[in-house]
Amino acid sequence: MLGFDWWWAMLLLPLPLLARSLLPTADNADVALAVPLLNQHRLTDASSNKSSARFARICFWLFWICLVAAASRPYWLGEPLSRTISGRDLMLAVDISGSMSETDMTINSKTASRIEVLKVVVEKFIQRREGDRLGLILFGTNAYTYVPLTFDLDTLSKLLADTSTGLAGRHTAIGDAIGLAVKTMREQDSEHRVLILVTDGSNTAGFGNPVIAAQAARQQGLTIYTIGVGTDAQTLGRTYGLNNIPTGVALNERVLGKIAEVTGGEYFRATNAQALEKIYLTLDELEPVEYNYQSHRPRSELFTLPLASGILLMVCFTAWSTWQSRSSGAV
């Protein structure tokens, strides 16, 4: 679509005609209206060639039109680059406390820590969320927003892969993580907000009570799905001649279930990678929310075209005029 920033500059087009009609005609060249392109070819000169004068007038008007067109700042506005995205606002809250390094789970028949299994499963989950906005909260003793809500799922996956246990402290602040999610997501325009909270323990740090934080989340329309990970025992090395002993890390399933119940979500328990994968497949079935995501309309400035054309015309006319003058002098 063609547009003009200063469209009112077009009102200057009839200015030469207006000036010619308003100013008195004089035979004296000293008081005549000075027009640069016509200065050497005035019609008042009886000896001038009529065809040359007509050509000069045409060149002048073409130059004037180009000048006014450039002054009006024309531009071309392309078609809007927009798309409708069917998706959700999903915030992932991941426990990275010290207990998440327990090696009581397996990946491809190999012993792995809870955080390693979680990264693998969540990575697949993220890649299935094309069109959704996802964010990431990490929590331990403290909770902080690691990745704000974004459509850039590749960056989110890379940042999740770089996390390590103990980065946010050795303890678990579930209530603070929920409170941070509420604060972050209430600023969004979407009507359907979801928090997926993954932990392997109970609330042992922070200032927020998880259930009270869940009640605040419900008031903000935030649905929380909680996932408890880890087995009931820890696998030790063969040095001790034992396979499993109690870990000492208590998973408070009652509180996690209450958090989900209060907000209209659901609590899941994952004791292995397969169970965790099934849980995230279930979460894929959440009802989508539509977003109208529109980028800027591409804009191209066009004022250089008439400006360059006008300058080129003036240069050509000046060269032609000089040649004409020299030819007349030679005769």
Tens of pLDDT, residues 30-78: 444 455 544 544 444 444 567 777 888 888 888 889 998 888 888 888 8
| Cα 158 to Cα 146: distance, rounded to the nearest angstrom | 12
Whole-number pLDDT of residue 217: 92
Residue bearing the bigger pLDDT, 254 or 327: 254
* Digit-coded pLDDT (tens) for 77-119: 887 776 656 667 889 999 998 888 888 888 877 888 889 988 9
pTM, entire model: 0.60
Structure tokens at 31: 């008081």
Residue 77 — left, alpha, or beta (φ > 0 → left; ψ -120 to 50 → alpha)?
beta
Q: How confident is the model at residue 170 (pLDDT cuts 50, 70, 90)?
A: confident
Among 129-133, 196-200, 229-233, where is mean pLDDT lowest? 229-233
Structure tokens at 235: 């696998």
Domains of the chain: 2-77+298-330 (no CATH), 84-293 (3.40.50.410)
Alpha carbons within 13 A on the beta-carbon side of 89: 18
* Digit-coded pLDDT (tens) for 227-279: 998 876 544 443 344 444 444 456 888 999 999 999 999 999 888 888 888 88
Tell me the pLDDT of the chain averaged across its residues. Answer: 80
74, 178 Cβ separation under 8 angstroms: no
Question: Over 90: is that where the pLDDT of 6 sits?
Answer: no
